[in-house]
């Protein structure tokens, strides 16, 4: 495995998370939230809508922060590969949140299943890549070579 595989993952997740942040800005999120939760369109306005948008904005800000870190990590992918399991855990928890939302919060089924599929792609890609990183770093020569590059 070379750094190129890590770079692809970091670039893809960085851009994806930043797009999530931009999409969850209050000026843009109302339409998406009404698509996700049809009940939002029925009398969910004013302060209640602002509260929902603010809550989702926090999620977007957190994803945006991880996205910026992922893009920053492109400078030295193997050194900052530790962001990969962070992304995997974020995606696992977000997938659980989607299941909860579909079952108990009336999230539109097709929207929830679509986002669940996206989470699964990130989880599988991240776990596969993290195993490769672990295999690479478990080789004594590879660890020494990485240390020499850092010096």
Residue 129 tokens, joined: 């890549």
* pLDDT score of 35: 84
Candidates 118, 113, 137, 110; CA nearest to 13 is 118
Report residue 15's pLDDT band, with 50, 70 and 90 as the boundaries. Answer: very high
Quick one: pLDDT band at residue 26, thresholds 50, 70, 90? confident
Burial class (CB within 10 angstroms; exposed 0-12, middle 13-18, buried 19+) of 142: middle
Q: Are 142 and 7 in contact (CB under 8 A)?
A: no
pLDDT by residue (tens digit) across 42-53?
666 677 778 888
Question: Is a pLDDT exceeding 60 seen at residue 57?
Answer: yes
pTM comes to 0.84
What is the distance between the alpha carbons of residues 35 and 111, in angstroms, rounded to a whole number? 8
pLDDT in tens, 121-132: 999 999 999 999
């998370």: which residue's tokens?
Answer: 17
Q: pLDDT for 59-107, tens place per residue?
A: 999 999 999 999 999 999 999 999 999 999 999 999 999 999 999 888 8
Q: Which two tokens stand for residue 54?
A: 């603010």
Segments of 23-137 assigned E as strands: none
Output the pLDDT for position 29. 84
- Structure tokens given for 5: 């595989």
Eight-state DSSP code of residue 139 = S
Which of residues 72 and 133 earns the better pLDDT score?
Answer: 72
Query: In degrees to the nearest 10, what's the CA dihedral of 104, 108, 113, 116?
Result: -60
């Amino acid at each position: 495995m070379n750094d190129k595989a890590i770079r692809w993952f970091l670039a893809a997740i960085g851009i994806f998370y930043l797009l999530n942040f931009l999409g969850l800005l209050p000026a843009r999120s109302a339409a998406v939230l009404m698509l996700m939760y049809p009940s939002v369109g029925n009398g969910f306005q004013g302060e209640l809508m602002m509260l929902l948008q603010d809550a989702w904005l926090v999620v977007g800000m957190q994803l945006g922060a991880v996205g910026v870190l992922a893009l920053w990590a492109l400078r030295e992918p193997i050194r900052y590969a530790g962001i990969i399991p962070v992304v995997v855990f974020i995606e696992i928890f977000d997938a659980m949140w989607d299941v909860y939302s579909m079952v108990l919060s009336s999230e539109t089924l097709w929207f929830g299943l679509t986002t669940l599929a996206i989470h699964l792609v990130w989880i599988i890609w991240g776990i596969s890549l993290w195993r490769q990183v672990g295999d690479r770093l478990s080789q004594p020569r590879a660890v020494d070579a990485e240390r020499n590059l850092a010096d």
